[in-house]
């Protein structure tokens, strides 16, 4: 690893781009909820559209990460976010499933390429764990704004407003990358070696944990309303979720970086996530459901900060962390559509049961990575 020290401007660009590229981590419940309520799609169709975005990002990230050290990262990042911005702005003019599907896929491909450049560059920082934690704090603040603003904009301006906001976020990221992004020091091709078994096991563990995250979190808003909770109360929980994400997981991960072993954190994280998933999908009283829903995402953010730092150490070339969008979104891509299918056919309680089994697989991979 080059251990570069990036200037303030470059860090700002990386953080803004991280927030834009990880939009799904924050916006999935509002995204899927709006597709169901404002566009009239079924939960499975809505989950399918989100899945197309995420699958596009997965394929593009896997392709781009392998070539991370051979391209101009700044140009690729800025261009990718620009295309994503255009895709979402066009989506704001559409209501039919087919064009929205194509535009979700295009936006996902563009974001996947751009975000690989961002995360690969972050992996070359002198302290990747701390930089990723800083980006996590920013995405927590971003989540407060997004989860507070988008539902109100949907009420006043309709479903198109959501895609207009997404487009504006991507345009801001494109501008930041074009003006402030700094390419990392290059690595000679002969110094790049294949991933170790520990690297692959860690990648698989993160992907499966993210599948659990997306399967449940995509339907938090829908589950809350199906339980008969007041829509305003559900919205308050989503805002609280953003506040929790801002205040706790990333600052705590930065504070504990040298006090807790990353291998231990990534083994415990999926178990805590599964317990919360059981509560979120099974609780019928608001006072039980709300706290679990509010901290659900924080577990993923905290755990993945440690996983990111671990991968940066395991693979000094930066390719493993450049593949972060693929690592996260291959799980996130399947989560919404599987969650929608389970919810439609077996009830949303089935998601909690499934989460237990998925968490066990994730823990298994992280355990193998520790001993590899």
Asked whether residue 258 is assigned to any structural domain, the reply reads yes
**Percentage of the chain lying above the pLDDT 70 cut:** 97
372 pLDDT above the threshold of 70: no
327, 203 contact by CB (below 8 A): yes
Q: Specify whether the backbone of 228 is left (phi greater than 0), alpha (psi in -120 to 50) or beta.
A: left
User: 190 vs 138, which has greater pLDDT?
Assistant: 138
Residue 163 confidence class, pLDDT cut points 50, 70, 90: very high
Tell me how many domains the chain contains.
1
Domain-located, residue 74 = yes
Closest Cα partner for 325 from 22, 17, 26, 8?
Answer: 22
Mean pLDDT of 87-110: 97
Residue 82 lies in a domain: yes
Res 209: pLDDT: 95
Residue 3 belongs to some domain of the structure = no
Q: Are 92 and 169 in contact (CB under 8 A)?
A: no
Decide if pLDDT at 189 tops 60: no
Furthest CA-CA distance within the chain: 60
Number of separate helices (H) and strands (E) present in the chain: 16, 0
pLDDT averaged over every residue in the chain? 90
In which band, very low, low, confident or very high, does the pLDDT at 192 lie, cut at 50, 70 and 90?
Answer: low
Query: Confidence class of residue 187 from pLDDT cuts 50, 70 and 90?
Result: low
Q: How far apart are CA 15 and CA 210, in angstroms?
A: 21
The reply to whether 188 falls in a domain is: no
pLDDT of residue 190: 45
| 250 located within any domain | yes
- pLDDT tens digits for 1-39? 446 778 899 999 999 999 999 988 778 778 988 999 999
Residue 110: which pLDDT band, with cuts at 50, 70 and 90? very high
Please write the tens of the pLDDT for every residue from 233-266: 998 998 888 788 888 999 999 999 999 999 999 9
Interatomic CA distance for residues 144 and 239, integer angstroms: 6
pLDDT digits (tens, 9 = 90+) for 278-290: 999 999 999 999 9
In a domain, 333, yes or no: yes
> Can you tell me the mean pLDDT for 145-164?
90
286-314 vs 324-346: helix axis angle to the nearest 10? 150
Residue range of the domain that includes 129: 8-183+196-371
Q: What's the mean pLDDT in 55-72?
A: 90
Helices 231-247 and 128-157: crossing angle, nearest 10°?
160
Q: Cβ distance 50 to 31 under 8 Å?
A: yes
Instruction: Provide the CATH number for the domain around residue 37.
Output: 1.20.1250.20
């Amino acid at each position: 690893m080059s251990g570069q020290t990036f200037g303030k401007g470059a860090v700002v660009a990386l953080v803004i781009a991280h927030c834009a590229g990880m939009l799904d981590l924050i916006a999935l419940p509002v995204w899927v909820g709006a597709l169901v309520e404002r566009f009239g799609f079924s939960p499975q169709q809505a989950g399918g559209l989100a899945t197309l975005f995420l699958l596009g990002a997965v394929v593009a990230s896997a392709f781009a990460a392998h070539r991370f050290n051979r391209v101009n990262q700044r140009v690729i990042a800025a261009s990718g976010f620009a295309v994503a911005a255009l895709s979402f702005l066009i989506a704001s003019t559409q209501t039919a499933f087919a064009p929205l599907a194509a535009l979700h896929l295009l936006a996902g491909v563009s974001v996947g390429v751009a975000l690989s450049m961002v995360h690969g560059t972050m992996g070359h920082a002198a302290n990747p764990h701390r930089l990723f934690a800083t980006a996590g704090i920013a995405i927590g603040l971003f989540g407060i704004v997004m989860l507070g603003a988008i539902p109100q904009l949907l009420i006043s301006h309709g479903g198109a407003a959501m895609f207009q906001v997404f487009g504006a976020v991507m345009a801001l990221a494109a501008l930041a990358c074009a003006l402030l992004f700094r390419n990392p020091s290059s690595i000679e091709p002969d110094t790049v070696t294949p991933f170790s078994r520990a690297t692959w096991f860690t990648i698989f563990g993160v992907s499966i944990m993210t599948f659990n995250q997306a399967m449940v979190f995509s339907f938090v808003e829908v589950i809350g309303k199906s339980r008969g909770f007041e829509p305003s109360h559900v919205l308050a929980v989503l805002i609280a979720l953003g506040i929790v994400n801002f205040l706790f997981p990333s600052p705590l991960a930065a504070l504990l970086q040298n006090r807790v072993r990353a291998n231990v954190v990534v083994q415990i994280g999926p178990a805590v996530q599964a317990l919360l998933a059981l509560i979120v999908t099974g609780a019928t009283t608001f006072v039980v459901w709300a706290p679990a829903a509010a901290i659900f995402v924080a577990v993923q953010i905290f755990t993945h900060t440690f996983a990111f730092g671990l991968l940066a150490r395991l693979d000094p070339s930066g390719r493993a962390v450049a593949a972060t969008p693929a690592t996260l979104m291959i799980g996130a891509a399947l989560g919404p559509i599987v969650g929608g299918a389970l919810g439609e056919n077996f009830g949303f309680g089935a998601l909690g049961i499934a989460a237990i089994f998925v968490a066990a697989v994730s823990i298994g991979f992280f355990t193998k990575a520790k001993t590899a």
